[in-house]
Each structure stands twice: as C-alpha cells, then as structure tokens.
C-alpha cells in the first residue's frame, strides 16, 4: 500500500510549516537543525549534507512536536484511519547535491509493524523511491502539501535534490 494525496493539510498550515523551517521576509526560520552526513551516499567524490530536527523519538520530544503532530492527525482523520500513536517524527532537509547516485540506500525506519508517513514541505526534485526487493515500484516527487502513506516495512529511499533543498517530515505511526 502506497497512498499519495495532495493538499490534505490545509494551505494555511502548509505555509506555517514552511515558514517555521525556511523563514520568510519577516520571520527567521525557527527550528534548530543538526548537520548530518550519510556515508551510504558516498559516490567516490563527496558525501551529501542534510540537516535533521528530531521532533519525537523514544528519548526526545521537542517544543515543535505539537505543531508538526497535527499532520498525521489530519491525514488519519481525513482517511478514516484510527491513529493510535506517533512513534517517531523527524524533519529532514537535504541540500542540493550533484552525484551519479539516484537515491540514498533503501531502508525501513523500524522493524515492527507500523505505517510510514512522509509530508513534503516544499516543491523540489529528489523523488522518494519505493522498492520491492531491488525493483522500484513507485516514485513520488516532492510537492508542497503532498503526503505519502505506506506500510512501514516497505523499503524506501530519499532521492538527491539537484536544484533546491528537499524538505520532508517523516513519521512512523501506529494505526
């Protein structure tokens, strides 16, 4: 199951989240970010840089979690899914990177049964790619306001943006 929906999240919230992360002409960005290097993405020349903000994990809950926890609540309510818990929530910004590689290493976020939810904060290149074994079964292009809901045991990987930063919030949920 890979479900792609646009604009389930109201436009005013889309804009609010975008401003929190990127700022605008009147407001500075408000999320503290940690620089992250991904060794599985080394192509022999360089390693791409991304930035991460952990909103919720088993050991951490940030002040911004309340704002971003609305996304899975809205998605599940809209799709008539009973949201039991948001296990983890992480925001990632991948900066543009020129590479021969198409995407990061395929992975699953957690071993147990869960749903994965990706919320795209901006338009970008760098598709999210879904796999069955080594075969690509779906590609999803980053588009502001788009969500992807999928079985959390589905292998997936983020693509490398080449033009603009790619910003997502990745959720792992029990439903």
Running along the chain, 175 residues long, what does each successive block of 10 average in pLDDT? 96 95 84 81 74 93 94 98 97 86 85 96 96 95 98 94 94 97
Q: What is the pLDDT of residue 27?
A: 80
Q: Tell me what pLDDT residue 103 has.
A: 81
What pLDDT is attached to residue 141?
97
**Cα 117 from Cα 147, distance rounded (Å):** 7
Separation of alpha carbons 17 and 71, rounded Å: 10
At residue 122, the pLDDT reads: 97
Nearest of 79, 78, 104 to residue 92 by alpha carbon = 104
pLDDT confidence of residue 31: 83
Dist. CA 19–CA 13, nearest whole Å: 10
Q: Is the CA virtual torsion 18, 165, 125, 68 positive or negative?
A: negative
- Tally of helices (H runs) and strands (E runs) in the chain: 3, 10
pTM as predicted: 0.93
E strands, 34-98, are 34-37, 49-56, 85-94
Residue 149's DSSP bridge partners are 3, 117
The answer to whether 163 and 19 have CB atoms below 8 angstroms apart is: no
pLDDT the model gives residue 10: 97
Contact call for residues 17 and 120 (beta carbons, < 8 A): no
């Amino acid at each position: 199951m890979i479900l792609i929906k646009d604009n389930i999240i109201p436009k005013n919230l889309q804009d609010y989240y975008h401003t929190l992360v990127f700022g605008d002409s009147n407001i500075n960005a408000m999320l503290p970010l940690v620089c992250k290097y991904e060794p599985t993405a080394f192509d022999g020349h360089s390693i791409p840089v991304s930035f991460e903000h952990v909103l919720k994990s088993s050991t951490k809950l940030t002040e911004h979690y309340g704002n971003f926890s609305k996304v899975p609540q809205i998605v599940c309510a809209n799709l008539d899914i009973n949201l039991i818990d948001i296990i983890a929530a992480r925001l990632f910004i991948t900066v543009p990177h020129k590479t021969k590689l198409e995407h990061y290493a395929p992975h699953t976020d957690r071993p147990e049964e869960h749903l994965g939810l990706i919320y795209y904060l901006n338009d970008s290149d760098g598709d999210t790619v879904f796999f069955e074994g080594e075969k690509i079964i779906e590609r999803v292009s980053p588009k502001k306001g788009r969500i992807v809901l999928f079985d959390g045991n589905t292998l997936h990987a983020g693509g490398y943006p080449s033009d603009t930063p790619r910003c997502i919030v990745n959720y792992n949920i029990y439903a």
